[in-house]
């Protein structure tokens, strides 16, 4: 039976971060509409959040699969996720994840997928897949700009990136170490991110659009010596997002505000503002005089109250101009609301894509990792304005206020909105064509795998031989020849 005539089984294995799991889930939904069965694998604490997002229509095509991750000192099961994880435990989580490799092998043996789509934290995943004769493709959930920027520096240290609009300031350069940090000794001296790219089967999937990052996608392809296949923005839609009753007051509050008069402020689920950063942001919002919704988060176990974290008297002074939400907020519904005129964002890639899709000018306040490069890209393509820091990298309240007012009050965001509408329209027009291309690339890879397992050596299928030791394989081949 040909792959086009039966469903193709894909095992998806993202890193344990919401910013990674979310695009994997959206890709799963997209592929499930095109004759694919998806097994989405993560830890129990992450799967419990995903279950709420899976509508009934996906229940027959997307199966959630739990992987057991070892419990290490200071890292109980409820910490097997990066969400609200104290920063000092991140290396421990990576170590625990690495030690779950044998459990992944057992799952692949059980489910026998046609293809593994894996993340860029676990270079051991494609190695395990190859032992089961399963092709494996890396899926990059960060921007092509950042990926090519990093790969360029890795391959050509000391040379300038060929695109002058993309750079890092001195105070940002050291943060890259977190993206390439290893946990176990067997990755010492190697870069796990680039090992993941290197081991991908002929191509690399990336959450991006040619309309936004065309030249960086091309540059990445040259550097990686692989075909780069953009899969689109993979933005969650409101039809699949449930607005809980406890959050309905947010929309009611927005309904009372004028068109484009409010900024949405969020720094993602994995970055926690320092006390100094929180104070500068608070004063900046107050100085701007603009309405705002601010999502504030603290690490799990940290018993900090919003009132204590904010400058003295801040909540009373801003009154009805500000709404502060602690924990989670329905970001998509907020961005869609007509009262929103700007998005103060850390520039995580998923947030960037959401801002562009919903045509909301992005006020870029990058914090670490890939975010500074993403902020420079937004400025280059005209869909955002960056809040500049001082020479030592500190956030300055006056600069926050200036950019917020420029975008919302002085209508500087009008040009940005127009540019975002143009990009969104181009992307929508090519959406079906783009996904047809993605599906064909994946099916071709699966067909190659199907053809490979047909030949036999001494009665054994090749995929069975792969799991034997090299000496055992040689022994079987020798016996065959002697006969």
- Helix (H/G/I), strand (E/B), else coil: 203: strand
Q: Answer for the pair 264, 344: CB distance below 8 angstroms, yes or no.
A: yes
- Look up 337 and say whether it is catalytic: no
Q: How far apart are CA 118 and CA 201, in angstroms?
A: 11
237 secondary structure, DSSP code:
P
Q: Active-site residue among 20, 80, 283, 346?
A: 20
407 secondary structure, DSSP code:
I
Q: Active-site residue among 114, 119, 283, 337?
A: 119
Burial classification of residue 451, based on how many CB atoms lie within 10 Å of its CB (0-12 exposed, 13-18 middle, 19 or more buried): exposed
- Look up 165 and say whether it is catalytic: no
Q: Answer for the pair 100, 44: CB distance below 8 angstroms, yes or no.
A: no
Q: Pick from 54, 409, 42: which is nearest to 240 by CA?
A: 54
Q: Answer for the pair 230, 141: CB distance below 8 angstroms, yes or no.
A: no
Q: Answer for the pair 462, 456: CB distance below 8 angstroms, yes or no.
A: yes
User: CA distances (Å), 407 to each of 171, 261, 414, in order?
Assistant: 26, 10, 8
Q: How far apart are CA 134 and CA 170, in angstroms?
A: 43
Q: Answer for the pair 119, 14: CB distance below 8 angstroms, yes or no.
A: yes
Q: Are strands 456-457 and 460-461 parallel, antiparallel or unpaired?
A: antiparallel
Which residues are tagged catalytic?
20, 119
């Amino acid at each position: 039976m040909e792959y086009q005539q039966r469903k193709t089984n894909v095992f998806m294995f993202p890193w344990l971060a919401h910013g990674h799991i979310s695009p994997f889930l959206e890709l799963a939904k997209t592929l499930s509409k095109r004759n694919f069965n998806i097994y989405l694998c993560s830890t129990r604490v992450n799967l419990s959040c995903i279950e709420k997002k899976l509508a009934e229509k996906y229940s027959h095509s997307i199966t959630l699969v739990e992987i057991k991750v070892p419990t290490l000192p200071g890292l109980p099961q409820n910490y097997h996720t990066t969400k609200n994880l104290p920063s000092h435990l991140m290396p421990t989580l990576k170590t625990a994840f690495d030690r779950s490799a044998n459990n992944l092998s057992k799952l692949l043996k059980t489910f026998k997928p046609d293809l593994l789509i894996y993340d860029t934290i676990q270079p051991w995943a494609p190695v395990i897949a190859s032992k089961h004769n399963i092709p494996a493709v890396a899926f990059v959930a960060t921007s092509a700009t950042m990926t090519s920027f990093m790969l360029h520096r890795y391959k050509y240290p000391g040379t300038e990136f060929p695109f002058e609009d993309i750079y890092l300031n001195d105070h940002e350069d050291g943060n890259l170490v977190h993206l390439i940090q290893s946990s176990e000794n067997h990755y010492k001296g190697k870069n796990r991110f680039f090992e993941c790219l290197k081991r991908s089967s002929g191509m690399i999937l990336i959450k991006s659009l040619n309309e936004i990052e065309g030249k960086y996608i091309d540059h990445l392809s040259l550097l990686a010596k692989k075909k780069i296949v953009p899969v689109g923005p993979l933005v969650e839609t409101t039809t699949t997002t449930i607005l809980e009753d406890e959050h309905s007051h947010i929309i009611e509050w927005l309904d009372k505000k004028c068109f484009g008069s409010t900024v949405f402020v969020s720094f993602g689920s994995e970055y926690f503002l320092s006390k100094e950063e929180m104070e500068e942001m608070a004063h900046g919002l107050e100085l701007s005089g603009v309405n705002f919704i601010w999502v504030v988060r603290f690490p799990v176990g940290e018993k900090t109250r919003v009132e204590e974290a904010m400058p003295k008297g801040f909540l009373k002074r801003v009154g009805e101009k500000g709404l502060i939400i602690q924990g989670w907020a329905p970001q998509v519904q907020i961005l869609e609301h007509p009262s929103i005129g700007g998005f103060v964002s850390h520039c995580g890639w998923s947030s960037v894509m959401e801002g562009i899709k919903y045509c909301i000018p992005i006020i870029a306040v990058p914090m670490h990792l890939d975010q500074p490069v993403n902020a420079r890209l937004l400025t280059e393509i005209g869909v955002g304005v960056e809040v500049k820091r001082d020479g030592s990298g500190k956030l300055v309240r006056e600069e926050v206020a200036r950019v917020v007012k420029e975008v919302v009050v002085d209508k500087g965001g009008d040009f940005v909105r127009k540019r975002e509408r143009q990009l969104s329209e181009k992307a929508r027009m090519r959406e079906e064509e783009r996904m047809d291309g993605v599906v064909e690339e994946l099916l071709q890879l699966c067909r190659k795998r199907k053809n490979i397992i047909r030949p036999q050596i001494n009665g054994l299928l090749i995929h069975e031989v792969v799991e034997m030791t090299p000496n055992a394989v040689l022994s079987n081949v020798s016996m065959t020849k002697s006969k």
